[in-house]
Structure 1
Amino acid sequence: MSEPDSISTVHRIAEAVTEAVRDGRLAPGQRLTEADFASRHGVSRSSVREAFRRLTADGLLAFEPNRGVTVRILSRREIDNLFAVRGALEALAVRLSLPALKAAPERLLALLAEMDRAVADNDMPAFSTANAAFHALFAEVADNPLLSETLTRLSNSIYWLQFRMLVDRRQVFDSHAEHRRIVEAILAGDAAAAEEAMRTHVDGSRKLVQQLPDSHFAG
């Protein structure tokens, strides 16, 4: 197998694991085996091993002696720390992207409309997809590769993937009002209000997660 093919295969396996966590098919604490993923995807165990290594570095997986690779479980304090960093970086992305998005808001407004439809249809998968694209747009338009890479790594950690399926659906949909406040501040050219709205939005997600029982967290 050539080097580019190997890189592509590792990326594909990493994406498959991330998607399985996002969809709730892999639960926090669940053990993963190289042989199982290699057989399921028709790839070498070395490619699976490298994908697991990358996801462990990103914080989605963990290596535990005598257990091997598992889906990582975070403590409540680690959740708070993660959301604090995420909120600060998302607010920065909003500030940096605001001039360009105010001048050309079409993509932003289209994603807002997608989330409107998903809420009206009670369609959580569609809402989650549009929500992820909404947040990714700010980092993309900010045109700061380091910021974008860091936010991507945080997104690939436990951040929201493992908890989206657990929190109350209505509360998740209710958070959509905060998306509208972010967009309104951007259209008004009010960077301070847009940043504050994003911080409030991210902290709202943290609070939803922290409402879950202790059994969902590491000791």
Structure 2
Amino acid sequence: MKKKTERDIMEFPEDFNQLELLNTHGHLIPRGASSLWNGSKDEEEDMEEEEAEHSEEWYLEKEETLNDKPAELLLWAAENNRLSTVHQVLTADPLLVHCCDEDGYTPLHRAAYGGHVDVVSALLAAGSKVNPRTIDGWTPLHSACRWSRITVASFLLQHGAELNAQTNGGLTPLHLAASHTSASKTDSAHTLELLLSQRHLKAGLRSNSGETASELARRSGPHHFLFEMVEDSVNVLLVS
């Protein structure tokens, strides 16, 4: 049975705030082939630690169960930083680099939100598009910025990622970076700095709820001061 998407499950007025929705219903953002995210930020970190503790035998057993489902195997391998498996699957069928799950998440999306830059590099080298869209309009850069994966975000930008891409709800990567900052995680501030330093950034783009990334950062994060990087300079007239 097809997994319901965010818009299948809930109905919203036209002016709903999608960023507040992410905070309250972030468990609906797919992070795996069949999982629903339902934790707080602390639980996110705990889960990352748990994933890192899996033994090599666990990974091999998981790969064995997916051997007859190469698309699922590639998606799983990209998410779990199994670079050799990614190479093996794509060697057997190069076109699988364009596969996606039922929500439109490609292997590149999976590797991006996992922060796996070597896998990202391998997928792009194998012909992956750099700006594929999920059914909600997310690009891999959106995914990387949502999870403060600064190395991946930088790599994607260097390879043509759309800096100002907007989701179906009007969210840019900058909106997502601004809405998920943490004073205790330096990568969240660095991700904002990376985006704000980009020459072609359109920092004033508004989401469907009418909010800019700067306005969002002012009310939801500790790093609003970073937006001074893109504020208009004060013109000073020199009097001779």
TM-score by length of 2: 0.25
Of Structure 1 and Structure 2, the greater strand share is in: 1
TM-score w.r.t. length of structure 1? 0.27
Give the structure with the larger helix fraction.
1
Structure with more contact order per residue of length (Cα contacts < 8 Å, sep ≥ 6): 1
